[in-house]
């Protein structure tokens, strides 16, 4: 693809992230703080935190996943609407915003909490992909060779994220992953209800095939 909105998003995110790696004041200004959003009216951080990352590995993982799944979703929007590019970019940006909602409610009075990264939007992309292609096999980078149908992968992913969110083993914003995933599901269904019907039809046929 000579022109890709996904590639543009990746390039912009990489540029902003690279600059912020060596500019702590910029990173503080762009990262998401529920306290600053609620008390200091820094509304822009709802969006800007999705374009900066903690380090190169954090950036690489998010952009790699976006590079794998983004083009499929981009192609879907472009082929289904004359303004598909607007839907795609809006979907991605709203995924960034929607991923902040849990932390706004949980940490709006905590000035020490902050988050950054495109994980919420990337999760939205992956789960929209799963709704459209529920039987496409997905794997984990950490477990080479293990591939599962997308809808099973999605269920296990959400269960794992929910468990890790409750245990709070690390400073990873698991709530953002969950809310981004949920946003991706509801957006792609609202965009075309047939996606939900097709999703269930594919799953029914998948299990029915084991009975034959």
> Which CATH number covers residue 164?
1.20.1540.10
Q: How far apart are CA 77 and CA 188, in angstroms?
A: 10
Alpha helices in 31-134 (DSSP H): 34-39, 45-48, 56-80, 84-98, 101-107, 119-132
**What six digits make up the tokens of 60?**
């690489």
pLDDT in tens, the chain (212 residues): 557 999 999 999 999 999 999 999 999 999 999 999 988 889 999 999 999 999 999 999 999 999 999 999 999 999 999 999 999 999 999 999 999 998 998 888 898 888 999 999 999 999 999 999 999 988 765 566 678 899 999 999 999 888 887 776 556 777 889 999 999 999 999 999 999 999 999 999 999 887 76
pLDDT of residue 36: 92
- Provide the domain count of the chain: 1
- Whether 118 and 13 have beta carbons less than 8 Å apart is answered as yes
Domain that holds residue 199: 5-208
């Amino acid at each position: 693809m000579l022109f890709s909105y996904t590639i543009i998003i990746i390039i912009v995110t990489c540029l902003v992230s690279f600059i912020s790696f060596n500019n702590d004041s910029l990173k503080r200004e762009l990262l998401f703080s529920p306290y600053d959003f609620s008390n200091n009216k820094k509304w822009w951080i709802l969006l800007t935190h999705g374009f900066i990352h903690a380090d190169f590995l954090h950036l690489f993982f998010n952009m790699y996943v976006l590079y794998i799944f983004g083009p499929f979703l981009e192609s879907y929007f472009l082929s289904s609407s004359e303004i598909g590019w607007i839907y795609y970019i809006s979907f991605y940006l709203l995924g960034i915003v929607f991923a902040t909602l849990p932390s706004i409610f949980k940490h709006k009075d905590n000035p020490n909490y902050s988050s950054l990264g495109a994980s919420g939007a990337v999760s939205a992309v992956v789960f929209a992909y799963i709704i459209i292609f529920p039987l496409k096999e997905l794997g984990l980078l950490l477990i080479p060779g293990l591939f599962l149908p997308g809808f099973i992968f999605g269920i296990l992913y959400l269960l794992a994220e929910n468990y890790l969110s409750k245990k709070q083993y690390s400073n990873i914003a698991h709530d953002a992953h969950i809310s981004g995933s949920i946003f991706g599901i509801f957006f792609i269904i609202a965009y075309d209800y047939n996606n939900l019907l097709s999703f269930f039809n594919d799953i029914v046929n998948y299990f029915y095939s084991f009975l034959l």
